[in-house]
Structures are given as C-alpha cells and as structure tokens.
Amino acid sequence: MESLPNPLQNILKPAGSRARSRRLENGEYDLIIGQLNASENKYAACASDLAIETSLRQGMLFKLQWEWIDLSACMIRFPASAIEIANKGVPAVLPFSKHARKILHEICPKDDNGEIALNSSGLVLDTNVNAVICIWKRVIAKLQIKDLRWHDLRHEAASRLFEKGLHPMEVASITGHKSMQMLKRYTHLKPESLLEKLG
C-alpha cells in the first residue's frame, strides 16, 4: 500500500552518549580564579573554588549554612531536612580539604572583635546564585575558554580526588554517587597523573 506513510520513518535511534569529559586544562584554573577575584562579587572566586574542593552541586553549594560547618574538624554536617530527593547525592557528613578550610575561614562571619563566629547561622555564600554564575560565564567568555560549564567543576572535583589516591568508595562517599558506573562518568583522569604510578 504505497500511498500510506511508513511509520518507521518517524522512529529515531538513540543518540550517542552525552557524557561530558571536560576538565580544567593547564593554566585555566589560575586564569579563571584571577578574573573572578577581580570581579565585583567577592563570593565568585570562593564559589568556584568550593565547587572543586567539595564536589557539591550548584544547588546545595549555594544553600550551605554556617551552622552546618565545623571548621576545626573540616566537616560539613548536613541536617536531615537538607537532604531531600532534589538534593540527590548529598552525604550526611562531608569532609573537606585544607584549601576549602582556608577559603571558608576567610569568608567566615566575624564578631565585633574580629573573632570568627563559628556558630553563626546564615548562608556561606551570601550572594545570589545567578549573579555568581553570570560573572563566571562572562569570565569564561572573556578568557575565550571553550566548552567549559559550571557543572564540569564537579567532574574536576571527582577526578582530583582519584588523583590524590583515594579509593573509589572513598570518592563516592564524598561526591555522593550511588553507583560506581555513575562515578565513572564523573571521573576523567589525566594520563600525566598516572605516569608516577607507572614508574
């Protein structure tokens, strides 16, 4: 029946994998942080750095509360109310690096005597998320850095944890990935980092 349309013509085959493998290339980190530090938003560079150091998704990063953070122990303890379905992959307790501690120490609220108010409540990144992301995108465009998105910083974070020598289960406990398959999609080791282990 040649006059009838062929329904098979409307069937589309699944596209190939859209998994991203973009990481920061040599020199990009310093260029980006330098420009963000020079911006009008004092939290822009901190947010970018903390995204790499904590592996937190954008949504949770900008919801961080000071009362959840223990600077002396280098731990973030998320209350049960903060761990919802929308905040997938957030561990109950998140350890963070000394570099993250330094960043948090610098922006931590101070009392009248200049002492750190460790138990202070309120947002860690006391700024509008859209303002930071817009500045970040402008910096990326100004530096003519190709194909780099904010979410790629999470890929960078997971990859750096592996390059530090952490076991996959240890990395998953930080990034919050539920399966090794998903963690693998977020991990892109640089061949250069394997040379020392190869000998």
User: How confident is the model at residue 137, as a pLDDT?
Assistant: 96
**Which secondary structure element, helix H or strand E, spans residue 73, and what is its range?**
none
pLDDT tens digits for range 83-106:
765 556 788 899 999 999 999 999
User: How confident is the model at residue 152, as a pLDDT?
Assistant: 94
Question: Around 84, how many Cα atoms within 13 Å sit in the side-chain half-sphere?
Answer: 6
Three-state DSSP class for residue 162: helix
User: How confident is the model at residue 199, as a pLDDT?
Assistant: 67
Amino acid identity for residue 54 in this structure: T
- 0.75 surpassed by pTM: yes
Q: Where are the domains of the chain?
A: 24-146
pLDDT tens digits for range 102-149:
999 999 887 777 776 666 678 999 999 999 999 999 999 999 999 999
Residue bearing tokens 């409540």? 121
pLDDT tens digits for range 25-38:
999 999 999 999 99
User: How confident is the model at residue 147, as a pLDDT?
Assistant: 93
